[in-house]
Chain A
Amino acid sequence: MITSFLTMPHVVFGVWGIMTAVWVLVELLNYSEKNLGRLKIASALTTVFNWLAYVIGGWWYVVYYAADKAMIKKGPFPAAHGFFMETKEHVFFILLLLSMLLPVIVYSNKLSESKSIRKLGIVVAIIMVILGFGMEGFGSFITQGLRLGILGGK
């Protein structure tokens, strides 16, 4: 049973990754030289949290997911693996790369001089929030597929 709880940090860091992307978004929408320090911290944390979600989720997926996968595929909702997990595990890589691009945008440009570059950062943060919520939503479908598999469709 303890292995079920080992996915919790993956979910938590994923949510924190979304929250820090929202934080970056808010700071960029209200940009001034005064909040540049907070913006740098938020963008760096976005990378850190997404990497933690990746490493912890990846470790759990590689070590423990095979048994869950078998249970899902035997159950009444095999698409929980076939579509939702297969899509989630690969789309996540794009989210991870976006999380590394965000601090590059924040740290290496003079944001005060360019609305267009701030807009680039805003768009990257928005895409991250959309993909992040997608990951969370797909995770709930996978959990539901496992639950139905264990309960035999009840």
Chain B
Amino acid sequence: MENGILSKSTAGYGLSLAVVSIFSGLLVIVKETYTPLMDWMKALTGHHWITHGVFDIILFFVLGYLFSKSNLAQKMDADKLTKIIIWSVVIGVVLISGFNLAHNI
């Protein structure tokens, strides 16, 4: 029997991962090019990387919880989420590595 209907938590946290992957890549670019944001992130926890990680993890749990409570799972099947996760991770990694390649070498 084939049933691609995801649990609410898988759909919610899967989509949350996709959003945070891209958010994290964009945050690298923005914080490295906009000094006031970098300074604020440093001041918040003592190190911009700690703040970045805290933002990513909190956002992952908050969005995952909210998406899980929505009716997202009814619209999302496993094949669709698989594609979304692959592409969001690719975009996140390309944003981070591409920026560092262009900005630091």
Q: Which residues of A contact B (CB under 8 A)?
A: 54, 58, 61-62, 79, 81-83, 86-87, 89-91, 93-94, 96-98, 100-101, 104-105, 108-110, 113-117, 119-120, 123-124, 127, 131
Q: Inter-chain contact count A-B, CB under 8 Å? A: 118
Given A91-B93, A100-B13, A108-B7 in contact, is the A82-B81 Cβ separation under 8 Å?
A: no
Q: Which residues of B contact A (CB under 8 A)?
A: 1-7, 9-10, 13-14, 17, 20-21, 24-25, 28, 46-47, 49-50, 52-53, 56-57, 60, 77-79, 81-82, 85-86, 89, 92-93, 96-97, 100-101, 103-105
What A residues does B50 contact at CB under 8 A? 58, 62
Partner of B100, one of A87, A100, A115, A117: A87
Partner of B3, one of A58, A108, A113, A131: A113
Q: Name which of B1, B5, B49, B92 has the most chain A CB atoms within 10 A of its CB.
A: B49
Closest to A122 in B: B82
CB distance from B74 to the nearest CB of A (A): 15
12 extra interchain contacts, Cβ-Cβ under 8 A, other than A58-B49, A101-B10, A101-B14? A62-B49, A79-B105, A83-B97, A87-B100, A90-B52, A94-B21, A97-B17, A97-B20, A98-B17, A114-B78, A117-B6, A127-B86
Q: Are A100 and B97 interface neighbours, CB within 8 A?
A: no
Name 25 interchain pairs, CB-CB below 8 A, sorted by A. A58-B50, A61-B49, A62-B50, A82-B105, A83-B97, A83-B100, A87-B97, A90-B24, A90-B25, A91-B93, A94-B89, A94-B93, A97-B20, A101-B13, A104-B9, A108-B7, A114-B2, A114-B4, A119-B79, A120-B14, A120-B82, A123-B85, A123-B86, A127-B89, A131-B89
